[in-house]
Amino acid sequence: MNFRGMKLILPIIIYMIVGFGPASAASFYIWTSSIHVGEKVQVNDIILTVDKDIRTGALALVVEGEGKLLFDGQKMQVENLNISFTVFGNYGVVTVESAEPFSVNTNGDIQALKEENKRLKAENVSLTKQVKSLQKENEKLKQQVSELQNKLKDLPNAAALNVQIVNLTKENRELKAQLANITNKYNALQAKADFLEQQNEEYRKMIQTLLQEASQKSEQSYIEKAKKEKLIGSVIIKTLIAAGGIVGLIGFLLYRGKRSWEYGGL
């Protein structure tokens, strides 16, 4: 099997070897992984990066924070960790051994941790500002409480004031009850006034209707009376004319008879 095939079947391996018996009572924690150029792995607080020399093409493991390089086949101890580096073609294999458990984070985990760390720092700054603001507000409140306590101490009749407050509270409740009673009476009177106003409006409409009907009847009666009086006047005039005609005829006849008698006597 070539090294590339080994890389595919062995991306990340973490295992533990436990010794049994009186000769080996210790537990060993071992982590092995293949890492390409530019990839990073964080073991506890130590960041391991595989780098490549542009001139020679040699791979090396950069132990950040320590300022050291591990080339093919080399190893070193950092804190309680034993780190070794082996090159296989275009990638390297890192092995970490320790007698104590340790944590391992890959590239994605490191980036996520950086983002989380950045977010937590921003939250920490915001929380720090809030804490400072709350501390200032707390100091102001403490000062106000202290001033109020001093004022209460200076009051000669604090108990009497408390009694007055209780009495005022009681009077306030009684006034509220009286106000509620007056409000109810007002609402009842308002409802009665609205009812009477409605009745008055109905009466006004009825009176207006009766007046209109009476006016119409009076006008009709006046018209009929005028017609009757006009008819009577016409009859009288006609009677007078007829009487005048009769009287004139009688006079003419008498005059004619008189003239006839005078001419006959001559």
Cα–Cα distance measured from residue 164 to residue 160, given in angstroms and rounded to the nearest whole number = 6
Write down the domain spans for the chain: 3-105, 107-154, 157-210
Q: How many CA atoms lie within 13 A of 98 on its CB side?
A: 17
Give the strand pairing for 104-105 and 91-98. Answer: unpaired
Cα–Cα distance measured from residue 103 to residue 99, given in angstroms and rounded to the nearest whole number = 13
Residue 51 pairs in a beta bridge with 60
Cα–Cα distance measured from residue 172 to residue 178, given in angstroms and rounded to the nearest whole number = 10
* CA-CA-CA-CA dihedral for 254, 260, 265, 266, to nearest 10: 130
Q: Give kind and range of the element (H or E) at residue 7.
A: helix 3-9
The two three-digit tokens of residue 141, written as one number: 């409140």
Residue-level pLDDT, tens digit, the chain, 266 residues: 443 434 433 344 444 444 444 434 445 889 898 888 988 888 888 888 898 888 888 899 988 877 788 899 988 888 888 999 999 888 999 999 999 898 887 766 566 666 777 788 888 888 888 888 888 888 888 888 877 877 777 666 666 667 777 787 887 788 788 888 888 888 888 887 788 778 777 777 887 787 777 777 777 776 777 677 667 666 677 777 777 777 777 777 766 665 555 555 54
- Look up the pTM and report it: 0.35
Name residues whose C-beta falls within 8 Å of residue 18's C-beta, 6 or more positions apart in sequence.
27, 28
Residue 70 pairs in a beta bridge with 61
